[in-house]
Amino acid sequence: MNLHEFIQLALAEDVGDGDHTSLSTIPANAKKRARLLVKESGILAGVEVAKAVFDEVDPTFQVEVLMEDGASIKPGDIVLTVSGNARNILTAERLVLNCMQRMSGIATHTRELVNLLQGTRARLLDTRKTTPNFRICEKMATKIGGAVNHRFGLYDQILIKDNHVDYAGGIEAAITKAVAYLNETGRNLKIEIETRNRAEVEEVLRVGNVDIILLDNFTPDGIRDMVRLIDRRYVTEASGGIDETNLRAYAETGVDYISSGALTHQIKSLDLSLKAY
């Protein structure tokens, strides 16, 4: 799904056979304006999405962007103004706010975590723990906040997790089958494999043929030991139970990436509003 498709589906969900409140109360030819106001401090995200929503609803809208994605915002700031057909402004309002409020909440939390990594080699990764059909916006938001987008879906990387290993018959069998699949299909995808203990890491090092070793649910000391063992032969990623309380400890282990589902789930949306003026 691309952004255009997402917006079309979201509008269809919201509008149905018509915005009957606006149709019944606002003259068809009324021209009005509104401005998007900030009511809570944080990191702004979703401006480009808002522009796309306005364009989809009414290409004749006049939109003036005053603040860009990634900007630090505070109460009272004006992000953008929009002018045009009043009914259409009201049709676009809720989708614009739903996207921007959640995206800004994600970007704000992401930026807070990214700041904790300063001075280390570690970079923050998002995950597939996203809202169904809203992933495109949530991953845009984590990137705006300073994280690195991990795979977008099941189709753009091979990530062999614990269940894959168990179903495939072990680490060596899983890796061997993945490599054979790529050769047979002609696909050029990176292979990442999850490990749960030192023995599994040692087996991956013996088998080889992967690009990234995921170290899942290790302690910071355990990650540090595995990073030494791997010795930069493969890219390393830490995951599992990592949040703002222990992120810095994991980053100081020398691991390359730290992934966190918390970037996109259990996020509080930032308070924004679209007001007539």
Residues 6+ apart with CB under 8 A from 25: none
How far, in Å, CA of 9 to CA of 33, rounded?
A: 25
94 noted as active-site residue: yes
* DSSP-derived pairing of the beta strands 158-160 and 123-125: unpaired
| Residue of 39, 94, 128, 151 marked catalytic | 94
Task: Report which of 124, 192, 180, 110 is spatially closest to residue 154, judged by C-alpha positions.
Answer: 192
Q: CA geometry: angle at 15 spanning 13 and 20, to 5°?
A: 150
Residue 196 sits at φ, ψ, to 5 deg, of -115, -10
* Total Cβ atoms within 10 A of residue 18: 11
161 noted as active-site residue: yes
129 noted as active-site residue: yes
| Residue of 93, 126, 138, 194 marked catalytic | 194
| Residue of 32, 35, 123, 129 marked catalytic | 129
| Residue of 51, 161, 177, 224 marked catalytic | 161
DSSP-assigned states of every residue in 61-128: -EEEE-S-TT-EE-TT-EEEEEEEEHHHHHHHHHHHHHHHHHHHHHHHHHHHHHHHTTTSS-EEE--S
* Total Cβ atoms within 10 A of residue 121: 12
Residue 63 · residue 48 · CB < 8 Å: no
Q: How far does CA 1 lie from the centroid of its chain?
A: 15
Report CA torsion sign: 171, 175, 178, 184. Answer: negative
How far, in Å, CA of 219 to CA of 217, rounded?
A: 7
| Residue of 14, 112, 216, 271 marked catalytic | 216
Catalytic residues: 94, 129, 161, 194, 216
